[in-house]
Amino acid sequence: MAKFEYVFKRSGAKVPFRKERISNAIYRAAVAVGGRDKKTADILADKVIEYLESIYKEGYIPQIEEIQDAVEKILIEQGHAKVAKEYILYREERNRQRREASRYASKPSDNIPWAKIWHVLDWAVLHNLHTVESLNKRIGRDEFPHIVHEAENAYEQDITTAAEMIKERINEIKMVFVTGPSSSGKTTTTIKLEQKLKKEGYKFVALNVDHYFFDLELHPKDEFGDYDFETPYALDLELINKHLLKLSRGEEVKIPFYDFRTGKRTLNVTPMHLEENEILLIDSLHGLFPEMSKDIPDERKFRLYLEPLLQMKGNDGKYVRWTDIRLIRRMLRDSAHRAYNPKQTLEHWHYVRSSELRNIIPYNSEADFIINSGMPYELPLYANKMLKYFTEWEKEYKGDPLHEDAFNRAARVKKLLESIIPVEDDSSVPKDSVLREFIGGSIFKY
């Protein structure tokens, strides 16, 4: 047992010292470079603790940076140069994000699709939906159904534009990727896009990349037993790329099968090949991640990125965060379709956000077209459905150093939702709306 009882986080909070945090950090870095040996990660974590105990006295409370320095040292000394490099790069990236956060207002972020944002903001101003105050005024005038109609039309126009762009390149495209961060509405958008193109006589074959998950026991997890499914390295990227290349050449492959009940994957299960006039349709978080389709020429791919790029200022003068919209969406979906408690979704969200900031959002500039799936009218519905829960979570997590992230998100979302006039009646929301993917009542099967 380590002689350290606590560790200081960057915020100054004192939390229990746990070996699992070290071994999991090492394992996640190993997974990123193709390694999946948890036993070795545990051994290396022991060596890190041994080293720390050799240089610090009994009762010392190390800083998180001191532990990270020790991890880097041990990885290099033990001959794990690739893992050490990945660990160092990840650490530097997180530090960069923290620095940039304090300068956000004065320096544009490379992660934001500015051209698209301008169009979304222009639309919001034109429809008097650019502030919570103006949204509330329109709701107060019984204009909620009209707001729904306006927002849905804008979203449908985006899908129509994407379909037209695909048609223009139909003779060279062999696969269409629909991608974006969690709960952006990829499934509904994929269905709608396919419907529009099928009406034009084009044929699509869907590839479910979930079947390429590695076995559950190989996934990284934290000291709470929470698995990290959000990283692209949870998928067998090498096999996906290999299969995509063969399919693009008209060759047959055998798709694996992943059993979510057992957490086990079986290889070579379902035969698949593309006919001359068929296009592969792929709905995936990581469709823009380079390793997934690195051997497929760009001219053979159409990459569609979507995110709820809502442009609305709250009463505090700050724009509503897209990640908060997606958090609520995922809570509703997970609760309805995956028997996952919304509280668990909140506690897990730091994994979601960390992975997408590193592995999804930075690649949105590679997309051929960007769709805005954000609906101004969804906020009043969430104020009705979710405010009481965020109020409870703010109280529960206050002062808990192990759940600082959950507290900050809960407090921020609660403040937003309590400023919006709640709407209970969602009958004006179309049954094929992207929002139905999350609030229920869709005509589509998910």
Which DSSP symbol is given to 63?
Answer: B
The most confident of the ranges 216-220, 228-232, 293-297 is: 293-297
Which token pair is 432?
């094929």
- Of 12-26, 192-206, 238-252, 293-307, where does mean pLDDT reach its minimum? 12-26
User: Taking residues 348-356, what's their average pLDDT?
Assistant: 87
Q: How many CB atoms lie within 10 A of CB 29?
A: 25
Q: What is the DSSP letter of 227?
A: B
Greatest CA span in the chain, whole angstroms?
73
Distance CA 346, CA 403 (A): 10
Ramachandran area for residue 179 (φ above 0: left; ψ -120 to 50: alpha; else beta): beta
Measured in degrees and rounded to the nearest 5, phi and psi for residue 161 equal: -65, -45
- Residue 351 has a pLDDT of 81
Task: Reply yes or no on whether the pLDDT at 90 is more than 50.
Answer: yes
pLDDT higher at 47 or 390: 390
Instruction: Give me the phi and psi of 72, to 5 degrees please.
Output: -60, -45
Confidence of residue 98 (pLDDT cuts 50, 70, 90): low
Integer CA distances (angstroms), 251 to 59, 98, 219, 248, in order: 63, 46, 31, 7
pLDDT at 433 (0 to 100): 98
Between CA 173 and CA 126 the distance in angstroms is: 36
Closest CA relative to residue 189, chosen from 372, 409, 338, 329: 372
Residue 102 pLDDT > 60: no
**Mean pLDDT across the stretch 222-230?**
65
Whole-angstrom Cα Rg for the chain: 23
| Mean pLDDT to the nearest integer, 138-161 | 97
- Residue 429 pairs in a beta bridge with none
Which amino acid makes up residue 36?
R
Q: From CA 107, how far away is CA 116, in angstroms rounded?
A: 18
Asked if residue 222 has pLDDT above 70, the reply is no
Least confident interval from 110-124, 312-326, 335-349, 397-411: 335-349
Domain regions of the chain by residue span:
6-102, 114-439
Phi, psi of 178 (to 5 degrees): -110, 115
User: Which helix (H) or strand (E) segment is 265 a member of?
Assistant: strand 264-272
**Sign of the Cα pseudo-torsion (260, 264, 268, 269, in order):** negative
pLDDT on residue 105: 46
Per-residue pLDDT at 320: 97
Minimal CA–CA distance to 233: which of 55, 44, 83?
A: 83
| The pLDDT of residue 225 is above 70 | no
Q: Does position 2 have pLDDT exceeding 70, yes or no? A: no
Of the two residues 13 and 352, the one the predictor is more confident about is 352
Which residues lie across from 204 on neighbouring strands?
A: 279
Highest mean pLDDT among 20-34, 83-97, 383-397 belongs to: 383-397
CATH number for the domain running over 114-439: 3.40.50.300
Beta bridge partners of 177: 282, 303
pLDDT (0 to 100) of residue 186:
96
Mean pLDDT of the chain: 90
Q: What is the pLDDT of residue 97?
A: 64
Q: Is the pLDDT of residue 33 over 60?
A: yes
- Residue 346 confidence (pLDDT) above 60: yes
* Element (DSSP H or E) covering residue 42: helix 38-55
pLDDT of residue 13: 79
CA distance 58 to 66: 16
Q: How far is CA 338 from the centre of its chain?
A: 17
* Higher-scoring residue by pLDDT: 293, 2: 293
pLDDT class for 125, splitting at 50, 70, 90? very high
Q: Given pLDDT bands bounded at 50, 70 and 90, which one contains residue 106? A: very low
Report the pLDDT value the prediction gives residue 108, as an integer from 0 to 100.
Answer: 57
**Cβ contact 177:184 at 8 Å:** no
Report the Cα 4 to chain-centroid distance in Å: 35
Distance (Å, rounded) from C-alpha 285 to C-alpha 230?
A: 8
Say what the pLDDT of residue 58 is.
83
Predicted confidence at residue 276, as pLDDT, reads 85
Query: For residues 286 and 177, what is the distance between their CA atoms, to the nearest angstrom?
Result: 9
Structure tokens at 69: 């320095």
Instruction: Check residue 324 and give its pLDDT.
Output: 98
**Model confidence pLDDT, tens digit, residues 5-14:** 888 887 777 8
pLDDT(50) > 50: yes
E-strand stretches of 74-202: 175-179
Assess contact for 272 and 205: CB atoms under 8 A.
yes
132 — pLDDT class (breaks 50, 70, 90)? very high
Residue 36 pLDDT greater than 90, yes or no: no
Q: What sign does the CA torsion over 149, 152, 158, 161 have?
A: negative
Question: How confident is the model over 162-171, as pLDDT tens digits?
Answer: 999 999 999 9
Residue 263 has pLDDT above 70, yes or no: yes
